[in-house]
Chain A
Amino acid sequence: MFKYVMKRVCYAFLTILLLIAITFIMMHTAPGNPFSSNKATSQAIMDAKFARYGLDKPLYQQFFIYIGNVLQGDLGTSIKYNRPVTTIIGESFPVSFELGIRAIIISIVGGIGLGAYAAIRRGKAADTIAMTVAIIGVSVPSFIVAALLQYFVALKLNQAAGTVIFPISGWHNEMAKMLPSFALGLSSLATISRLMRTSMLDVMNSDYIKTAKAKGLSERTIVWKHAMRNAVMPVITVLGPLTASILTGAFVVEQVFSVPGMGKYFVISITERDYTMIAGTTVFYGAFLIIMTLLVDLAYGVIDPRVKLAES
């Protein structure tokens, strides 16, 4: 186990190094520079700015200096905002993280519930309704879902009620956090519920459930004590990739609902050629995703004793 974790950590480290290298090369290849603007600036000022951010050195030097700084926990200063990248990430990441966690909770609880319910009521109206919801969730892009939710659920509801029930945008209070989290979690909710339904159907048809039924256990006991536990297993395997997709998808939802999260920096820093910010967000996101995947894999090994990690 320990050996396996160490091995994975080593790969994670290599991946991040490679990621920095790729990012470095790509962002410096992209045409334009962080300081270009609509109005021309004198060459002397440009030179001074390049020197100020250490961009006047050869690329390989910048790379090694950067790696050294990253190891010391210093991600540099954002060129666009002129504030330390770590400060910006420190402000915005918790927001994105909370949004992501809420979305994941919604998608797991909602998805498992919906999927299991549909499986138990297989072929009945409830099944159809639940699966229709799931299908819509998978097939509508999140930016459309977000915009429609904001207009129809927030604005129209508020106007009908004559008071603010769901704030339109922002991240200021509990109600404001509901719609963005839901918009972000919907597609994962749909994926999980479909998976859960299939897996639940499998389990419900298995011999041990038939035995339990034959023994005269109540439906409730069968579902909750026997079926659910085993049916949930496949869902756990997709949590890793889902977490990644939720985190990257956050940008869209954050933009529509003006949530002060990190997704914005992720995209805008690239279009603005904010080199330090690009590298900083990439390193951070990359590391975060890799750690998350690792944790999910480990969790899977712990929950399901049949899985032997070292051999996979």
Chain B
Amino acid sequence: MKKRNKKAIIPTANVNEIAYACDEVLSADDFTWVGADVDKSNTIVRESVSYFKDAMHRLFQDKVAVFLVVMLGIILFCAVVMPMISPYTFNELHSDHTNQGFFFTAPDGHMHIFGTDSLGGDTWTRLWHGGRISLTIAFVAVGINCIIGIIYGGISGYFGGMVDNIMMRIVEIIGGIPYLLVIILLMTIMTKGIGTIIIAYAMVGWVGMARLVRGQVIQLKEQEFIISAQTMGAGSFRILLKHLVPNTLSVIIVNLTLAIPSAIFTEAYLSFIGLGVPIPQASWGTLANDGITVFRYYPEQLMLPALLISLTMLGFNLLGDKLRDAFDPKLRR
């Protein structure tokens, strides 16, 4: 502050000298020194844009990305709300009208929008209930993967040295195991259920995330802001959680978006080999698998769950791509 004021006074003297030299021109009295407006120079004219906000801003400028977000939002919303507001429950059977087509109206007046399945369950309700299960499995499993991966990768990367060495060797070995095999084995040991699928998937799925986070942390930990935090006496875990992890968030989010479709796929695959969610629960995977045996006769029983799986897969995959672009500093305008 002081410095700037000093500098400001010196030119004023010069101006006076010039004014005496040229009589006809403006005299020095025409000018008054108003001093620097400290407040004004300190105001922020434009809102400061954080990296994250900037990325989101760019993401939402992309029409396709907005469409994807809206589509996924609708699917999610339906999966949550539809089973609640539907007049039928997912395991309610109407044995006297099975395998009915769209907009089937029973003699007593109740209607099944998407018809009924081979046992007379309401397809609409089961479809969204299945979505709930599939999405729950995907989100929770990927979430768990993510948490384990962040903690493991963070610790390994931050502490480095011997800790890193041992932890990475473990990851290398676990990563070498064909994950599907472990999932199948786990599924036979534990009782069938949604929890089991989640645990089985999470037990082997965190390795990729751990590697990713470790790489990021190693890059970041040599940067000044970490050193200054260390100098100021922040504890290791505070640095990890408050400074390192938030900075790896972009990579994590992109990865998460891409991991969700692969979890949905794995669930469908498990359903195909008979290790899906147990009845009377349904997931998109089990519905599609049931549909495949009858698609010659009732194509909609395959097509509807398949369509929802595909839309969700597609949505998350493309959104992942868009997010990657949005977070990429190279593409910043």
The proximity string for A residues 137-160 relative to B, scoring 1 for CB distances below 8 Å and 0 otherwise, is 011110110011001000000000
Classify chain A's interface size.
35 or more
Is B309 an interface residue, CB under 8 A from the partner?
yes
| Residue numbers in B under 8 Å from A244 (CB-CB) | 178
B189 touches A144 (CB 8 A): no
Interfacial residues of chain B within 128-181, with CB under 8 A of chain A in the complex: 169, 172-174, 176-178, 180-181
Is A119 an interface residue, CB under 8 A from the partner?
no
A18 touches B273 (CB 8 A): no
Is B240 an interface residue, CB under 8 A from the partner?
no
| Residue numbers in A under 8 Å from B184 (CB-CB) | 267, 270
Q: How far is the CA of A22 from the CA of B296 in the complex (A)?
A: 42
| Residue numbers in B under 8 Å from A141 (CB-CB) | 265, 268-269, 272, 285, 288, 306, 309
A252 touches B176 (CB 8 A): no
| Residue numbers in B under 8 Å from A27 (CB-CB) | 185
Is A293 an interface residue, CB under 8 A from the partner?
yes
Which of the segments B16-24, B101-109, B116-124, B310-318 contacts the partner chain?
B310-318
Q: Tell me what chain B mostly uses at the interface: helix, strand, loop, or mixed.
A: helix
B313 and chain A: residue at smallest CB distance: A139
| Residue numbers in A under 8 Å from B313 (CB-CB) | 138-140
| Residue numbers in B under 8 Å from A144 (CB-CB) | 288, 292, 302, 306
Is A289 an interface residue, CB under 8 A from the partner?
yes
B176 touches A286 (CB 8 A): yes
Q: How far is the CA of A290 from the CA of B177 in the complex (A)?
A: 8
B175 and chain A: residue at smallest CB distance: A15
Q: How far is the CA of A135 from the CA of B268 in the complex (A)?
A: 18
Is B125 an interface residue, CB under 8 A from the partner?
no
Is A29 an interface residue, CB under 8 A from the partner?
yes
B188 touches A271 (CB 8 A): yes
B188 touches A139 (CB 8 A): no
| Residue numbers in A under 8 Å from B78 (CB-CB) | none
Is A4 an interface residue, CB under 8 A from the partner?
no
* Chain B nearest CB, measured from A159 CB (Å): 13
B272 touches A151 (CB 8 A): no
A139 touches B317 (CB 8 A): yes
Is A14 an interface residue, CB under 8 A from the partner?
yes
The proximity string for B residues 280-322 relative to A, scoring 1 for CB distances below 8 Å and 0 otherwise, is 0000010011001001100000100010011101100110010
A282 touches B292 (CB 8 A): no
A26 and chain B: residue at smallest CB distance: B185
Is A251 an interface residue, CB under 8 A from the partner?
yes
Is B251 an interface residue, CB under 8 A from the partner?
no
Knowing A11-B172, A30-B189, A141-B269 are in contact, say whether A18-B314 is a contact too (CB < 8 A): no
| Residue numbers in B under 8 Å from A151 (CB-CB) | 295-296
A286 touches B310 (CB 8 A): no
Interfacial residues of chain B within 66-99, with CB under 8 A of chain A in the complex: none
A249 and chain B: residue at smallest CB distance: B269
Q: How far is the CA of A147 from the CA of B295 in the complex (A)?
A: 9
B285 and chain A: residue at smallest CB distance: A141
Is A266 an interface residue, CB under 8 A from the partner?
yes
* Chain B nearest CB, measured from A124 CB (Å): 17
| Residue numbers in B under 8 Å from A232 (CB-CB) | none
* Chain B nearest CB, measured from A311 CB (Å): 13
Q: How far is the CA of A293 from the CA of B189 in the complex (A)?
A: 29
B314 touches A15 (CB 8 A): no
Interfacial residues of chain A within 267-312, with CB under 8 A of chain B in the complex: 267, 270-271, 278, 282, 285-286, 289-290, 293
Sample of 12 further A-B pairs with CB below 8 A, known A31-B189, A144-B292: A22-B177, A26-B188, A29-B189, A135-B318, A140-B310, A141-B265, A143-B292, A147-B292, A194-B321, A249-B269, A252-B273, A270-B184
The chain B residues found within 8 Å of chain A, CB to CB, are 169, 172-174, 176-178, 180-182, 184-186, 188-189, 261, 265, 268-269, 272-274, 285, 288-289, 292, 295-296, 302, 306, 309-311, 313-314, 317-318, 321
Sample 19 A-B pairs with CB under 8 A, ordered by A number: A11-B169, A18-B174, A18-B177, A22-B177, A22-B182, A23-B185, A26-B182, A30-B188, A138-B313, A139-B313, A139-B317, A141-B285, A194-B321, A248-B178, A248-B180, A249-B269, A252-B273, A270-B188, A278-B185
